[in-house]
Structure 1
Amino acid sequence: MSAEFRELLKKVGSGTHTHKDLTREQARQAATMMLTGVATPAQIGAFLIAHRIKRPTGTELAGMLDAYADLGAKLNTIPHTSYPLTILGIPYDGRSRTAPISPITALILAYHDIPVLMHGGKTMPTKYGLPLIEIWKQLGVNLTKLTIEKAQKLLNETNFSFLYLPQHFPLANKLVQYREEIGKRPPLATLELMWQPYQGDSHLMAGFVHPPTEKMIREALQLRGIEKFTLIKGLEGSPDLKLGQTTIICVNNAEKEEGYEYLKIHAEEFNLSREDVELKDYESYYQELHKLLQGQQSTLSDSVILNGGFYLWRCGFSSSLKDGIDTVRDLLNTDKLLTKLEEIKTVLNS
């Protein structure tokens, strides 16, 4: 048993009226002791559920991210790039109700020479949704065996890469079992949205569900000196923009006194569908993905157009959201995304 960790546990777990928030350094220590196994399983489980009940603060999340930065893998700066690396913060427990769009968004960005990094794990509690790693595998891209050197090479040569939790951050992967055992998503799930395993100039584009989470993320990023961010109230907590509802987005803006502003994106303004694509079964979803890549009309097309257009605009490639959307409309009439996918496969298998 760690007596030092027990004192931190007592702070967050003392009850509604007597608990205390951790300082940034204390949160870093707590996360480090959980990741490295200094804390016992009983202590880790107790901390995670107590921290969830108390609710984390932005300061605590910043400290825990410090531990992730200390212990997790990192990719190096890409040579000869005109854009910051886009890091997609997507819930690791996947999707269960709506079709994921982010893998196609990543291909669109990479095709336009905007480097993009995704990260995630395998099928994960408590949602057990469709994870990113399985989608890429169905596209012929097996990312589970990447060494960190090969992940760097893939990024340098194709503008796309992926960090796989069991392979590149096994310390964090060991904590996944606690999600099953406590039956809830702990605050660690918020860290996954914010993790930036890259040493160069980056742009975090992360999803969220609840407004308090967006506020905590903003506070944590500010403490860690992160200036470029886009926080999207997207489908199932992902950074996929919605067709069926107005998408609320928080973006950094140094001209505003608060340092940020909110955008509202309406799909109907661009003559796009008002219905998000349901994830009825995986096989049908994969079929629609392949149709899209081959330049054919797909049920995913409108969602891809909205998301791809927004990301091209937000990343600085397009001068306006409309221009970004027009660019993606034209792109989807070709098989250029399929060519980009084949390029990724070639480098991966070389």
Structure 2
Amino acid sequence: MKALLQQVAEGKDLTEAQAEAAMTLMMTGEATPAQVAAFLMALRIKGETVEEITGAARVMRARATRIHHNRPLVVDTCGTGGDGSYTFNISTTAAFVVAGAGVAVAKHGNRAATSLTGSADVLEALGIHLDLTPAQVGRCIDEVGIGFLYA
């Protein structure tokens, strides 16, 4: 991780394979929290390349928990994590609109970090229980057309 962090801190781009290696170290817990923070900050300052995003996304997709459902089509909605404009929670509203139109939705979200409300905050305020197993989320998608997953 140290060599990859150094490369990014020097403003040098990573190859797709290097980005995969860095993300693997982060997701397996082999990188320290300080290394993760420094790496992500250096990457953001440098600016992410297509190769870096592709490599990181490949690792995250491979390690993601699969949600099994029986719907032929499911869309995934996720907000930005705080727009800084203190607007209402648009992505959660959009998820209900899409589900209401008959398209199943896997709604990703979390609690508010930089905005007034995160998706989890909105859904809990509506009385929706969010502490579900992946199998239960899949059942929600099948039965009511929408399921929530913490991002």
Residues 48 and 103 of structure 1, relative CA distance in 2, 3 Å threshold: closer
Map 1:220-235; keep pairs closer than 5 Å: none
- Contact map agreement 1:106 1:116 (CA 8 A) in 2: yes
Number of residues of Structure 1 aligned to a counterpart in Structure 2? 151
1:151 is matched with which residue: 120, 137, 140?
137
**Aligned-residue CA RMSD (Å):** 1.9
**TM-score, normalization by structure 2:** 0.88
CA contact (8 A) 1:96 1:129 kept: no
Which residue of structure 1 aligns with residue 16 of structure 2?
A: 24
Which residue of 2, 7, 11 corresponds with 2:7?
11
Decide whether aligned partners of structure 1 residues 95 and 150 sit closer, same or farther in structure 2, where only a CA change above 3 A counts.
farther
Q: TM-score, normalised by structure 1?
A: 0.40
The reply on whether 1:64 has 2:56 as its aligned counterpart is yes
Q: Distance in 2 between matches of 1:146 and 1:95?
A: 29
Of the three residues 129, 150, 156, the one matched with 2:116 is 129
Note if 1:102 corresponds to 2:91: yes
In structure 2, do the counterparts of structure 1 residues 120 and 104 end up closer, same or farther at CA, with 3 Å as the change threshold? closer
Q: Give 1:10's aligned amino acid.
A: Q
Instruction: Flag structure 1 segments of 5+ consecutive residues without an equivalent.
Output: 166-350
* Helix, strand or coil at the partner of 2:108: strand
Closer, same or farther in 2 for the Cα pair 1:94/1:121, shift >3 Å? farther
* SS at 1:47 equivalent: helix
Distance 2:121 2:69 in 1: 27
2:142 is paired with a residue whose SS is helix
Q: Secondary structure at the match of 1:68?
A: helix
Mapped contact 1:95–1:129 kept (Cα < 8 A): no
Residue 86 of structure 2 is aligned to residue 90 of structure 1:
no
Query: What displacement does 1:20 show?
Result: 2.1
Asked if the contact 2:69–2:141 (Cα under 8 Å) also holds between the matched residues in 1, the reply is: no
2:38 alignment counterpart: 46
Give percent identity, aligned residues only: 31
Instruction: Say if 2:103 is the partner of 1:114.
Output: yes
1:142 alignment partner AA: H
Structure-2 separation of matches of 1:24 and 1:129? 36
Q: Comparing both chains, which one has the higher relative contact order based on Cα–Cα distances under 8 Å and sequence gaps of 6 or more?
A: 2
The alpha carbon displacement at 1:161 in A equals 0.8
* Separation of aligned partners in 1, 2:87 and 2:4: 39
Q: Deviations over 1:91-119 (max 9, x none)?
A: 23476522223333322322232111111
In the TM superposition, residue 49 of structure 1 has moved relative to its aligned partner by 1.6
Higher Cα Rg, which structure: 1
Aligned pairs for 1:295-314 (under 5 A) are none
Distance 1:94 1:146, change over 3 A: farther
Selected match of 1:36 from 25, 28, 40: 28
Q: Distance in 1 between matches of 2:122 and 2:95?
A: 12
Is 1:164 the equivalent of 2:150?
yes
Counterparts of 1:132 and 1:94, CA distance in 2: 13
